[in-house]
Amino acid sequence: MQELISYLIKRRLIMMGIVILLAFVAIILSTTIHFAPSHYFGGKYNNTFIYALIVYKLIELPILYYLLLHRHLVALRKNMNVSERLPKLRKHAKLLLFLIPQGNTIFGIIAYKLSGDVLYFLIFSCIALVTLFIIKPNKLNVTIGK
C-alpha cells in the first residue's frame, strides 16, 4: 500500500507540474501570438458558453472524484479485501490524476479560442491545480490504518 501511495504522490506532483508548465506556455503564446475570438453565431453566446464550461467542470470534477477514488476509500474503510481492491484502486486513481489536467486543458483551450483571452485558460488551469491539490493520496494510508 505504501508503494501505491508514494506512486500516486509522485504522479500528482508530475501532473501539477504539467498544468503549471502549460499555463506558462499559454502566457508566452498569448504575449507573442494574438488570437482573435471566434465568432460562432455572431459571437454573442461565447461568454455564456465559457461560463457553462466552467460550471460543467465544477460539477464534473467531484463526480469523477467520487467514481474513481472515493468509493474505493469507502470500501477500504469497511474492511473489504485490500488485495482485491488494490489493482482497481491503482488504475482508477491513475486515471483520475490523468483526467483532471487533460480535461481542464482541453476546456481551457476551447475557452481561450472562444474568448481570445488567456485568462480563461488560466482559470481552467487553476481549477485543475486546486483539484489536484485537494486530492491527497495519503488518505489511503489513514483508511487502511483504521
- Per domain, the residue ranges of the chain are 2-145
Res. 83: pLDDT tops 80: no
Residue of 145 and 101 predicted with greater confidence: 101
Three cell numbers, residue 114:
472562444
Considering Cα of 13, then 135, then 104, then 128, what sign does the dihedral take? negative
Place of cell 486513481: 93
Res. 137: pLDDT tops 60: yes
Task: Indicate the pTM of the whole model.
Answer: 0.88
Q: What is the dihedral of CA 131, 137, 138, 143, to 10 degrees?
A: 110
Res. 125: pLDDT tops 90: yes
Share of the chain above pLDDT 90, in %: 56
Q: Give the pLDDT band of residue 80 (cuts 50, 70, 90).
A: low
Roughly what angle, to the nearest 10 degrees, separates helices 82-115 and 2-32? 10
Measured between alpha carbons, how far is 24 from 18 in angstroms, rounded to an integer?
10
